[in-house]
Amino acid sequence: MLPAIIRRPRTPHPVQVGRSGRLTAILGLALAVQLTAGCGSGGAASSAPSPSSPAPTSAATTSHSATTGQPVPDPSQAGQAQPSLGSKVGAKSSAGGRITVGDLSLVARVNGSAIKVYPSAGATTPRWTLGNPLPSGSPLLFLVLDRSGDWLHVLVPVRPNESQGWVHAADVTLFQHDYRIVVSVGRHTLTLYQAGHAVMQVPVGLGTGSTPTPGGVFYTKELLKPPNPAGAYGPYAYGLSGYSDVLENFGGGDGEIGIHGTNDPAGVGHDVSHGCIRLTNENITKLAGMLPLGVPVQIVA
């Protein structure tokens, strides 16, 4: 589980991180964050970052436009076609609400300081109003499931897991990428696909029997750089759009699950966490150097 995020203003500055400086973190919205509790196995207080530790910062890859992939042309501009959301869409919702994952994903980045999310296309009363950016400084993103005229059907990063809603297409900018992640609970593996091909498979630590890693389809909504790369979260932590099924809150936060490194590599491959997905520090660094945000994460049995 990822703990609470505390907002503290800080002067924006670029920070070189990752292997050989391949990754550049830019604090575009001048927000620092502080981790207040661990996401490991119960009682491991000594491995959690101290509240007095330096605050972690948002991390954003520069290999992808705006950290969310390659821009999709704005369909409102003359002479440009609407993005196709047919069989190529990386995540789709059936009539029964089940989400399926494919090889190409569309990601919607919110343009303004807030966005209204509606229960259906054409509705006039919003179900949620969400602020932008996130407390970490990352832009608010949605994984797009479908389109109906000027409306986008999106996966919403709120409880309950796999919540869905509709937003005005004019309120977001669309991006596309061809990555997806599948986490197998039974095999304790994370497999990264690009354009339908498996390009990386690594062992992972998962939730225990009393605090299991929830199944379903989620997406990476933010990338954090903890203050101590040798600490409980390793050098990077992805916040996901999903939440624990059994913990309503954790460490002052709301039970959000994540993918992160660890200072206990022996736990990778076992059931050791409160629901988060643990990788070795080497492997989470590889992911952070490769992926945009808005990558579907399908957690299967």
Looking at residue 284, what is its pLDDT?
98
User: Is 177 in the active site?
Assistant: no
| Residue from 64, 188, 260, 274 carrying the catalytic annotation | 260
Residues 159 and 21 placed together within one structural domain of the fold: no
Lowest-confidence range among 41-50, 52-61, 250-259?
A: 41-50
pLDDT higher than threshold 80 for residue 210:
yes
- The residue from 161, 177, 193 where one domain ends is 177
Tell me if 81 is assigned to some domain. no
| Size of the chain, expressed as the number of residues it contains | 301
Distance CA 52, CA 1 (A): 20
What's 97's domain CATH number?
2.30.30.40
Tell me if 1 is assigned to some domain. no
pLDDT higher than threshold 80 for residue 106:
yes
pLDDT higher than threshold 90 for residue 141:
yes
- The residue from 155, 177, 199 where one domain ends is 177
- Mean of the pLDDT values across residues 88-115? 82
User: How crowded is the C-beta side of 5, counted as CA atoms within 13 Å?
Assistant: 26
- Residues 6 or more apart in contact with residue 258 via CB below 8 angstroms: 1, 2, 39, 237, 238, 239, 240, 276, 277
User: Is 276 in the active site?
Assistant: yes
Instruction: Please count the structural domains in the chain.
Output: 2
pLDDT higher than threshold 70 for residue 105:
yes
- Mean of the pLDDT values across residues 248-255? 68
Residues 184 and 173 placed together within one structural domain of the fold: no
Per the structure block, which two tokens stand in for 293?
């945000």
Q: How confident is the model at residue 147 (pLDDT cuts 50, 70, 90)?
A: very high
Determine which helix (DSSP H) or strand (DSSP E) holds 143, and give its type and residue range. strand 141-148
**For the chain, percent of residues with pLDDT exceeding 70:** 67
Lowest-confidence range among 96-100, 177-181, 200-204, 276-280?
A: 96-100
Q: Which 3 state secondary structure label does DSSP give 89?
A: strand
Tell me if 117 is assigned to some domain. yes
pLDDT, tens digit, 9 for 90 and up, residues 9-31 = 232 222 222 322 222 222 222 22
Residues spanned by the domain of 270: 8-64+179-300
- The residue from 133, 152, 177 where one domain ends is 177
Looking at residue 253, what is its pLDDT?
66
Tell me if 279 is assigned to some domain. yes
User: Exposure of 21 by Cβ count < 10 A (0-12 exposed, 13-18 middle, 19+ buried)?
Assistant: exposed
pTM attached to this predicted model: 0.78
Residues 47 and 183 placed together within one structural domain of the fold: yes
